[in-house]
Amino acid sequence: MIHYTKDNDNIAIISFDNSNSSVNVIDSNVITELDQRVSEAIADASVKGIIVTSSKKDFMLGADLKMIMGINNPVQIMSIAKSLHAVFRKMETGKKPVVAAINGTALGGGYEICLACHYRIAVNDSKIQIGLPEVLLGLLPGGGGTQKLPRMIGIQEALPLLLEGRKLRPEQALKSGLVNQLVDSQEQLIPAAKAWIVNIGKSVQPWDEEGFKIPGGGIQSPKILQMLPAAAGLTLKKTYGNYPAPAAILNCIYEGLQLPIDRASVVECRYFTQCVLSPESKNMIRTLFINMNEANKGEARPAGIPPTNLKKVGILGAGMMGAGIAYVAASNGLNVVLKDVTKEAAEKGKEYSVKLLSEKLSKNQISKEKYDELLGRIHTTGNPADMAGCDLVIEAVFENRDLKATVTKESEAVLTANAVFASNTSTLPITGLAKASARPKNFIGLHFFSPVDKMQLVEIILGKQTSDYAIAMAIDFVKKIKKTPIVVNDGRGFFTSRVFSTYLFEGMECLAEGVSPALIENAGKMAGMPVGPLALADEVSIELCYKINKQTEADTGKKSEAAAVGVINKFIEELHRPGKKANKGFYEYPEGGKKVLWTELTKLYPVLSQQPDVAEIKKRLLYIQALEAVKCLEENIITKPADGDIGSILGWGFAPYTGGVISFIDCIGIKKFVNECNSLAKKYGKRFKPTRRLKEMAAEGKNFYQEKVVEVLEVSN
């Protein structure tokens, strides 16, 4: 796990190098071995100082989250945390100067190792990230981060880094005080560390010095006493109490920074243990780390297919989606042919890349050479023949079958036999669109989310004839552009659009029933959704919902009687309020001001004199999505719970603290979920009726995941 050497200058070098993994992470074995290496260096009277570094690309990526995921015993968690603190204190108090030579990314526990050193030097490489992002997975820094960072840079400066989990580039880390020095190259790193040991060689941490005071004021200073309650209020406003980790971090800071460092460490260990045992952290670690890493590695890629090695991508349609896809493709080394009806229209789409790259250039995030190179990768055209030579063509034209069929045939006429054609449709079944293709085996769906440059998910949709080769190329492409893929089977709305729409529709059902619009919106946000359902309907376009409904009715021959559909029809056919794009929908959008709920809403849909409890609305908004996700799983639209969880969080922002739509059910307990669905069905209609399989699982005491999430919930309570 760790190399130990002593050079001719009698400087000990401790280098992390986990032989069982491509990256370094902290587990019980690493803690034990680090303790041994530090003890060896301290005991050697000839050692002048210690350099802590890594033999791998990254310094240390934090704790072994799979290990944390598997621990449900609070005594065991406390023991591991305390042993880590003990090693760090040995480094700090061993009377040998210790330097962190940060050769690569240092996050979480990896950066806490650096905090235990007396000096920190990093390579000034923009690919390196430094910080304490544990809060993003429902945890808090458990190796001294909540106690040492505020003592080092000040409480006010440390709070955003701890509460938001910010990851800083080396230059930002230097400015913020997380590192003390930068070097330009890897070759300069160890010599710089040695020079500091020889010339400075300080071996006492600031918090161990007599008369130490926290920079900017301690807990009892007037400035901090005013700031902490405000920070607590803002945190509650942002999280609605759904995430225990931010509150635990604030408690650690308030309680711990009034104590000596060793007693403060015990406070941190206790709160860390609480967070580890919380269902929120278990859910978030499983979905946002373990399962997402598997997806990012291409776990769904068919075996036996050689790498497809994409070099050139064609994009049909230079609107918002096509322009976004062109940007991310070019930014990741691919040559792009961006086609629209005319070259002039395609150039307008390229302007999106010009805008984003110009912003990066102005902030010195890229060089002028890189700027020119990336824009030079995007070739605009109005000629279908320019698709020749493309390995993959992505159609991103309007949701019109005839138009999609036309561009499919035009492109396939000039493509090689191995080229793959993909549709960016969000709702139209891929098998039906593939009928226009001369080679349906090489036809697939690639559903991007807007804005493409920011949204992480790509939903890969398989038609009935889609080949393994096409799947492999789609996954290779998604990996190439650094997005997260989930693979789903064909069906109306696929997975994301189908389940996401239930959130919008349930909000409209509530509106039609006379629930206050403000209550609907606030309940959505309090449940953990990014925005309320009415605001989100405006964002995605009420008109789009209308068109999808009409297309569905035409395709199925069935007319929906749902109250939500009636609301949508009224807003389009009678009121002509299509949403945000027209500055009028459920909200009004005054020029230069914030959006406000349309004042006429309560006249169209008079509010009930007795409003439902907010908990009831929250339950409706979350349960309806979870139920639809289960139906997708049972119908084989998604083939495993992990895809549903990843897709729901990354695709439309389903409450991350739940771990996703499927984990949400496990966390509640399937038996309880079924009972509450039955109750909701009696009140609001059959759309809430649990499926037969859900009832069977409840009777059998089964979960979707093997981990005993419900028992964890009971323990933590």
| Backbone φ, ψ for residue 315 (5° rounding) | -130, 125
Contacts for 98 with CB less than 8 Å, ≥ 6 apart: 49, 50, 51, 52, 91, 92, 116, 117, 118, 119, 203
Q: Which of 20, 105, 4 is nearest to 61 (CA)?
A: 105
Q: Cα–Cα distance between 261 and 264 in angstroms, integer?
A: 5
Residue 416 in tokens: 């090689």
Cβ atoms of 278 and 246 within 8 Å: the answer is: no
Q: Residue 96: how many CB atoms within 10 A of its CB? A: 20
Give me the helix-helix angle, 496-513 and 614-634, nearest 10°: 150
Please tell me whether residue 180 adopts helix, strand or coil conformation: coil
Q: Which of 193, 186, 25 is nearest to 109 (CA)?
A: 25
Query: How far, in Å, are 206, 218, 227, 232, 268 from residue 221 at the CA level?
Result: 19, 5, 10, 17, 22
Q: What is the C-alpha radius of gyration for the chain, rounded to an integer number of angstroms? A: 28
Q: Which of 156, 158, 167 is nearest to 62 (CA)?
A: 167
Which helix (H) or strand (E) segment holds residue 146: the answer is helix 145-153
Q: Cα–Cα distance between 436 and 463 in angstroms, integer?
A: 13
Q: Which of 619, 630, 648 is nearest to 697 (CA)?
A: 630
What residues are labeled active site?
A: 459
CA 89 to chain centre: 33
Residue 500 in tokens: 């996401």
One DSSP character per residue, 99-144 reads EEEE-S-EETHHHHHHHTSSEEEEE--TT--EE--GGGGT---TTT
Residue 647 in tokens: 């897709």
HSE, side-chain direction, 13 A CA sphere, residue 150: 26
Q: Cα–Cα distance between 510 and 620 in angstroms, integer?
A: 9
Query: How far, in Å, are 301, 308, 472, 618 from residue 305 at the CA level?
Result: 8, 8, 7, 45
Strands (E), 163-256: 167-168, 181-183
Name the DSSP class of 332. T
Q: Which of 459, 481, 501 is nearest to 330 (CA)?
A: 481
Tokens 């055209």 found at: 381
| Beta-sheet strand order (sheet of 457-462) | 378-381, 335-339, 312-316, 392-395, 420-423, 443-447, 457-462, 484-489
Cβ atoms of 501 and 545 within 8 Å: the answer is: yes
Cβ atoms of 597 and 586 within 8 Å: the answer is: yes
Q: Cα–Cα distance between 269 and 82 in angstroms, integer?
A: 7
SS3 content of the chain, % helix, strand, coil (to 5): 55, 10, 35
Query: How far, in Å, are 245, 424, 455, 567, 655 from residue 399 at the CA level?
Result: 42, 9, 20, 22, 29
The identity of residue 397, as a single letter, is V
